[in-house]
Amino acid sequence: MARKPIIAGNWKMNNNIAATRQLVSELIPVVADAVCDVVICTPYTSLAAAVEACKGTNIHVGAENVHWAEKGAFTGEISADMLVELGVEYVIIGHSERRTYFGETDLTVNKRMKAALAKGLKVILCVGETLEEREAGITAEVVRRQTKIAFAGIDNEELDNVVIAYEPVWAIGTGKTATSQDANDTIAIIRACMAELYCPRCAEERVRIQYGGSMNAKNASELMAMPQIDGGLIGGASLKAEDFGKVIHF
Ligand code: PEP
């Protein structure tokens, strides 16, 4: 069974409500005939507008983070129930910008994953090595550790609701892309890790793994031609309908 490709945009801290409505209206015709799943992940303040604007289209809406608690004294945080109430379907967890700037750890990633899945959200889990880790030759060790801890306590039945995004930190927002072969090789390591954690067939048939890191209209087709790469998590190139459309039609 072939894995259906999935391309997701990560808008980061860009686009207010008006800009969200505008970009979605431009995206709808551009991605209408996509053969892959299409997701846009927007800032919290734009989620309601994005959900409304994407109704009846093939564009799915995601958030960029979620807290693990159901409610309580967590100033500035948003719960999974709050996202579900808005009609949000996906959530990015463990993005390297959260890990680097906001103290996200493998353990908090795991807690967020469990909470999101328990409430029926689909998760885009980000893993990836820093430049120092790559130069130290420990990329495989790092992505295996991140993957194992993220999935601790998560049942096999949930695998269809998780997408993994392999994002080498040094390639995010830098214009430096991993070679398609390197990206493919590291994704194969992550898939092998999922086979150990669950089963070889689960990893082969049910686990979709994206590449992310300066993926754009120019390099998408080469990356997407690699057998292990099932999609992309797109930052900068998701902010313009024309660019995102070209990635979607890799
Ligand atoms: C990202 O934010 O996940 C990302 C991959 O960004 P960019 O495409 O801009 O490198």
Domain positions in the chain: 6-248
d(CA 232, CA 212): 5
8 Å CB contact between 195 and 204: yes
Beta bridge partners of 37: 6
Tell me the per-residue pLDDT of 57-116, one tens digit each, with 9 for 90 and over: 999 999 999 999 999 999 999 999 999 999 999 999 999 999 999 999 999 999 999 999
Regarding pTM above 0.95, the answer is: yes
Is 95 one of the annotated active-site residues of the chain? Answer: yes
pLDDT band at 2, cuts 50/70/90?
confident
For residue 214, how far is its CA from the centre of ligand 1 (angstroms)?
6
- Of ligand 1's listed atoms, the one at least distance from the Cα of 237 is 8
Provide the 3-class DSSP secondary structure of residue 78: coil
**Given this model, what pLDDT does residue 152 score?**
98
Residue with tokens 């690699």: 226
Cα–Cα distance for residue pair 247/29, rounded to 1 Å: 14
Q: Name the catalytic one among 60, 64, 95, 129.
A: 95
- Closest atom, ligand 1, to C-alpha of 238: 8
6-248 CATH fold: TIM Barrel (3.20.20)
**For 213-245, how does the pLDDT look when each residue is reduced to its tens digit (9 = 90+)?**
999 999 999 999 999 999 999 999 999 999 999
Which residues face 166 on adjacent strands?
Answer: 127, 211
pLDDT digits (tens, 9 = 90+) for 175-202: 888 899 999 999 999 999 999 999 999 9
Question: To test ligand 1's pocket by mutation, which of 99, 166, 214 has the most ligand atoms within 8 angstroms of CB?
Answer: 214
Strand residue runs (E) in 154-220? 162-166, 208-212
CB 223 within 8 A of CB 178: no
- CA 206 to ligand 1 center in whole angstroms: 24
Please tell me the residue having the least CA distance from ligand 1 atom 4.
235
Q: Give the pLDDT band of residue 27 (cuts 50, 70, 90).
A: very high
pLDDT band at 1 (very low <50, low <70, confident <90, very high): low
Helix (H) or strand (E) holding 59: strand 59-63
